Amino acid sequence: MTHLYTQRSVGDLRAGDHAWLAFSHPDEQSRVLGDFVYAGLDAGEKVVCVTDAAPRHLPGLLSRYGIDATPFAEAGHLAVIPWHLACAKDGYSDPALLADTLEREIAKALDQRFQRVRITADMTWAAGLPGGDQFMLACDNEVEAMIGPSTVATGICQVDRSACTPEAIDVLQHHHEVLVEVNPEYDDGVLKITRTFRPHGLKLEGEIDGARHAAFTQTLTAVSDPRSEVHLDLNNLKFIDLGALSLIGTHALRLTRGNGLVLDNPTAELQGVIDMVGFHRYPGITRGQGWGAK
Amino acid sequence: MTLDHFALPYQGDDQFLGAALPFLTEGAERGDTVFVATNPRKRAALRAELDGAVQFLDQGVFYEHPTRIVAKVLRQWQEGKAEGRGLRILGEPHWETWGKWEVLEWQRLESLVNLVFADTDASFMCPYDLGALPLPILDAARRTHPHSAHGRFRRANPGYLEPGLFGAMCDREPLAPAPADSAAMPVFSPDMRDLRALVAGHARDLGVPGGTLHQLLVAVTEVATNALRHGTPPVVLRLWPEDGELVCEVADEGHWQPEDSAGPGHFPPNPELPGEIPRLGLWAVRMLCDIVQVRTGPAGTRIRIRTPLCA
């Protein structure tokens, strides 16, 4: 059975969205959660985080925005609720209690005259426990029941991908209609460039021609990292001009500090162009996933 | 290391086989990669005399595209060289099946071979049937091959022209002006989405298939971007159907003086040269499109891309 879901940048989440993030890298978690919580605090919205981290250590706030969230918690803009307070009863964790906690927090936020509520729940702690998958699924159901029909609340449930089995990730992912990803590095309505973390690189969507060479090179430079090669996901790239291909070819080795660029999932048309001009033979260029007879 | 590129003017099968067989046998005995591309009748006659060391190719496959064949054969030579094998090709195009512009591009290719393969030890024998081919084609053969084979002897062709000169001759004939009712669009911005939309609309209406259309869009974007960056405004794109082809023209008022000795975009870039900055440019445009015509002078520069339409 195929499952339909929407992939949405964290900045595009709206009321009623109960989104899912299985992060592959701490940087990915920082970017999504940091941007989500910061945008809420910045806009004067109530933020509720169900996590065992202290406000100061909420992902991405200190590292990306230089903010210690403790004063926000003290002022009541931010509620950081440890899991044992959110859903434990008589030493057991009960997902139904999570719903009660969230309902209470939303009601409290509205009493405090907040117009919107942002909720995050970090479930990584449960992933490694016996029955953890079932617990996470049950929690998700409760959050969905709470946020799905809401016109004021938006939520992100998150888990460290490496803590879960692939089967658990699959089941949890299929449980969500919205998958959240980092905000794009560049988006002008024609070209959208988004960082990817598994594999490390960029997802290119839309069209690149001479008008967007500078933005493209700048982003490619920013993503340069000595630890690994850089992947470019071309699945939704409808057009790329020869100038941008030449840029990729010229900078493949330099921008990635010698690691090279891997081109993944080109459209049949783009593959035709690359094969025709022999671009895949340029130094530092490797053909990755999704090539072949199309 | 010397390139051996010569014409074989012949009359009748005996003369053809008398020269072709020793040429091919010698290559096979040396362990070279040996290809033959000629018509089915001559392929059959050669096959009867040669063992499996020679590969026979259909003319339509081998002579599919003048720029692509250069890249392919050059690669073939490089790969063979790495394994210590030479390359030997007997190639006889089907001149009679081509239109005027195609003939010109294949003649240009015959000349370019002398430049592109100058630093190789490849051997190319190009048979010309004196009894069947029209005079202008035989005349061009004398200008594009440094030598001709006559029996077992080779003679220098006094009419031979350097590839740069021959290329300039190919581009001497002026292009007819674009029809008054052609679609036109001024090019102002490097954001060429509107230009691609116009080309795609016309191409789809005329039945250009998807893969070819995408390659055309890449090519037109490249040519228009170059005109905008290096040419003199106004830059104008024009489109019209002509003799079973879609013609896309990008014109500007600058006098482009390309540096390449072989003419603009005819020499394949070599990405494997260390320290070399790979550039795709007009060479890639030629790879992607059927026929690319460049005319430049004090009155301006015009580049036309001709894409065949499905019958």
- The pLDDT value recorded for residue B276 is 55
**DSSP letter, residue A189:** S
- The pLDDT value recorded for residue A228 is 73
User: Which residues on neighbouring strands pair with residue A49, listed in sequence order?
Assistant: A80, A120
- Report the C-alpha gap between B111 and B94 in whole angstroms: 17
Nearest-CB residue to B288 (from A212, A277, A282): A277
Distances A79 to A115, A117, A180, A257 between C-alpha atoms, Å: 16, 11, 22, 43
DSSP B170-194: HTTSPPPPPPTTSEEEEE--S--HH
Residues 236-295 of B with CB under 8 A from A: 271-272, 277-281, 284-285, 287-288
- The pLDDT value recorded for residue A1 is 45
- Report the C-alpha gap between A195 and A201 in whole angstroms: 6
Encoded amino acid at B64, one letter: E
Say how many CB pairs under 8 Å bridge A and B: 81
For β-strands A186-187 and A191-197, DSSP reports them as antiparallel
- Report the C-alpha gap between B137 and B116 in whole angstroms: 22
For residue B224, what is the nearest residue in chain A, using CA coordinates?
A: A210
**DSSP letter, residue A74:** H
Say how many C-beta atoms besides its own lie within 10 A of residue B273's C-beta: 10
For residue B288, what is the nearest residue in chain A, using CA coordinates?
A: A276
Handedness of CA B167, B169, B173, B174 (dihedral sign): positive
Q: Does B189 touch chain A (CB under 8 A)?
A: yes
Interface test with A, best of B218, B220, B292 (most A CBs within 10 A): B218
pLDDT tens digit string along A85-144?
Answer: 888 877 777 888 888 999 999 999 999 999 999 999 999 988 888 888 888 888 888 888
Respond yes or no on whether the N-terminal peptide bond of residue B40 is cis (omega within 30° of 0).
Answer: no
- The pLDDT value recorded for residue A255 is 64
Q: Which residues of B touch A211 (CB under 8 A)?
A: 189-192
Nearest-CB residue to A269 (from B75, B210, B285): B210
For β-strands A191-197 and A200-208, DSSP reports them as antiparallel
Q: How far is B16 from chain A (nearest CA, A)?
A: 35
Nearest-CB residue to B287 (from A268, A270, A277): A277
User: Which residues on neighbouring strands pair with residue A208, listed in sequence order?
Assistant: A240
Encoded amino acid at B228, one letter: L
Burial of A46: CB neighbours in 10 Å, binned 0-12, 13-18, 19+: buried
Residues with Cβ within 8 Å of B14's Cβ and at least 6 positions away in sequence, in order, are none
- The pLDDT value recorded for residue B290 is 86
pTM: 0.86
Q: Does B151 touch chain A (CB under 8 A)?
A: no
Interface test with A, best of B69, B213, B221 (most A CBs within 10 A): B221
Q: What is the pLDDT along chain B (311 residues), one digit of tens a residue?
A: 689 999 999 999 999 999 999 999 999 999 999 999 999 999 999 998 887 789 999 998 999 999 889 889 998 999 999 999 999 999 999 999 998 889 999 999 999 999 999 989 999 999 999 999 999 999 999 999 999 998 778 899 999 999 989 988 888 888 999 999 999 999 999 999 999 999 999 999 999 988 899 999 999 999 999 999 999 999 999 999 998 899 999 999 988 877 776 677 777 776 665 555 556 788 899 999 989 999 988 889 999 999 998 75
Interface test with B, best of A191, A208, A209, A255 (most B CBs within 10 A): A209
**Residues B263, B168 contacting (CB under 8 angstroms):** yes
For residue B189, what is the nearest residue in chain A, using CA coordinates?
A: A211
Question: Are A207 and B228 a contacting pair at CB < 8 A?
Answer: no
Helix orientation angle between B100-116 and B135-144, rounded to the nearest 10 degrees? 20
- The pLDDT value recorded for residue B273 is 59
Q: How far is B189 from chain A (nearest CA, A)?
A: 8
HSE value, Cβ hemisphere, 13 Å, CA-based, for A245: 31
**DSSP letter, residue B244:** T
**Which position has the higher pLDDT, A254 or B134?**
B134
Question: Are A242 and B221 a contacting pair at CB < 8 A?
Answer: yes
